[in-house]
Amino acid sequence: MMSHPVGYAGACIFGYLLGSIPFGLVLTRLAGTQDLRTIGSGNIGATNVWRTGRKGLAVATAVLDALKGTVAVLIVAHVGGRDLALPAALGAFLGHLFPVWLEFHGGKAVATFIGLLLAFVCQAALVFCLVWLTVALLTRYSSLAGLVASLVTTAFLWFGKYLPEAELFTLLTVLMWAKHHANIKRLITGTESKIGF
């Protein structure tokens, strides 16, 4: 794969196709639960799978949603170099947010965000997970934990001089916050659902 517009487009499309696999929906259907989109928030991500009571499926969803981002980046980086890994990452993130298979109604991409961090800067992925866990334990708001962790991690990348990655994750953070607009409104009004541990 070459570093020209066709190569960048190909990397983005490849990432998008991997990122658009709705693992939460696939796993819950295979397990025989009702349509995940009719439960809780209607989201296809791990937090909503957790609300079905199938905690093992929720963990599996989080892992697979993360790994699809990691795999997309690593494959493209191996074939076409690190420059093409950036559009592949963007494509994977957009694929999870707006999967073509589900009429572009996807998840919030928190797990995919972590998987992409893991592919680029492992330390940043660890920072994200630590911040997420701390905020989630203190507040029991999964959405708030993801939002705060995305900001802290992006700041970590900027201060760590990971400039291309910092630029990418700044964009991804903006997209994540935009996708969480309803959660943010509920957090402000105190009506956001909490998670149980």
Three-state SS letters, the chain: CCCCHHHHHHHHHHHHHHHCCCHHHHHHHHCCCCCHHHCCCCCCCHHHHHCCCCHHHHHHHHHHHHHHHHHHHHHHHHHHCHHHHHHHHHHHHHHHHCCHHHCCCCCCCHHHHHHHHHHHCHHHHHHHHHHHHHHHHHHCCHHHHHHHHHHHHHHHHHHCCCHHHHHHHHHHHHHHHHHCHHHHHHHHHCCCCCCCC
The pLDDT score that the predictor gives to residue 197 is 56
**Mean pLDDT within 77-102:** 94
The pLDDT score that the predictor gives to residue 152 is 98
Residue 80: pLDDT over 50: yes
Q: What is the pLDDT of residues 35-58, one digit of tens each?
A: 777 776 767 888 788 777 788 888
Residue 77: pLDDT over 50: yes
pTM for the whole thing? 0.91
The pLDDT score that the predictor gives to residue 118 is 97
The pLDDT score that the predictor gives to residue 3 is 54
The pLDDT score that the predictor gives to residue 65 is 95
**Mean pLDDT within 129-141:** 96
The pLDDT score that the predictor gives to residue 50 is 78
The pLDDT score that the predictor gives to residue 6 is 86
**pLDDT confidence tier of residue 8, bands split at 50, 70 and 90:** very high
The pLDDT score that the predictor gives to residue 117 is 98
**Mean pLDDT within 23-41:** 81
